[in-house]
């Protein structure tokens, strides 16, 4: 590094990590609070499907915005971790809300009635590909939506991770070039 470029102190780096962790926890907590406060005892309708589509489009826009922010960030690695930790919960909550609406509007869609917790749990088991088998989709619509989530999970693991990690690499290269310039 150039002698004229000041490296952040250990305290500054620690505060940056702490601030990022706090921001991530607050964002995720607000997202979960909104999910648990939402009245999901209504049926899954065309409006619900449109809302899910909007949430998934918002997820895509969020990932694109985060990729740009990562490239420009003075701490691209930290920004990447934050991006993954805040965008994935949005994706999961959108599907959990859809599953909850679907089961409440059409009882028997799943192998058991779904509360907010059950729907989020089911979403997490599908995302992690654990699939314990205690809750399973029974209707064609539920199986279709679950299949869509599985496809989305693969896209997150493959494409979104690649985009964000590529942005991180470009951000690190950009930062290193800027600190090496006289």
> Does residue 94 lie within any of the structural domains?
yes
- Asked if the structure places residue 9 within a domain, the reply is no
Distance CA 114, CA 70 (A): 37
- Asked whether residue 155 is assigned to any structural domain, the reply reads yes
Which conformational region is residue 107 in: left (phi greater than 0), alpha (psi within -120 to 50 degrees), or beta? beta
Q: Classify burial at 175, counting beta carbons within 10 Å of its beta carbon; exposed 0-12, middle 13-18, buried 19 or more.
A: middle
Give me the CATH number covering residue 103.
1.10.287.70
DSSP 159: I
Residue 129 lies in a domain: yes
CB neighbours of residue 40 within 10 Å? 23
Is 171 a residue whose pLDDT tops 90?
Answer: no
pLDDT of residue 1: 42
Interior CA angle at 35 toward 154 and 29, to 5°? 85
pLDDT tens digits for 120-147? 999 999 999 887 889 999 999 999 999 9
- pLDDT tens column, 30-75: 999 999 999 998 888 888 889 888 988 998 898 899 999 999 988 8
Who contacts 129 (Cβ-Cβ below 8 Å, separation ≥6)?
A: 153
Per-residue pLDDT band for 107 (boundaries 50, 70, 90) equals: very high
Q: How many domains does the chain have?
A: 1
């Amino acid at each position: 590094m150039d002698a004229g470029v000041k490296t952040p102190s250990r305290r500054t780096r620690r505060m940056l990590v702490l601030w990022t962790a706090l921001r991530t926890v607050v964002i995720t907590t607000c997202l979960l609070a909104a999910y648990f406060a939402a009245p999901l005892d209504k049926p899954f309708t065309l409006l619900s499907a449109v809302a899910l589509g909007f949430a998934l489009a918002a997820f895509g826009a969020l990932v694109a915005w985060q990729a740009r922010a990562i490239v420009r960030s003075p701490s691209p690695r930290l920004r990447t971790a934050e991006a993954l930790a805040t965008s994935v919960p949005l994706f999961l909550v959108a599907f959990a809300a859809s599953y909850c609406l679907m089961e409440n509007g059409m009882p028997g869609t799943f192998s058991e009635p779904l509360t907010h917790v059950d729907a989020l749990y089911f979403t997490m088991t599908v995302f992690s590909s654990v699939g314990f088998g205690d809750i399973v989709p029974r209707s064609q619509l539920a199986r279709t939506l679950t299949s869509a989530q599985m496809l989305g999970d693969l896209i997150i693991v493959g494409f979104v991770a690649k985009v964000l990690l590529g942005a991180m690499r470009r951000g690190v290269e950009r930062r290193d070039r800027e600190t090496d310039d006289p």
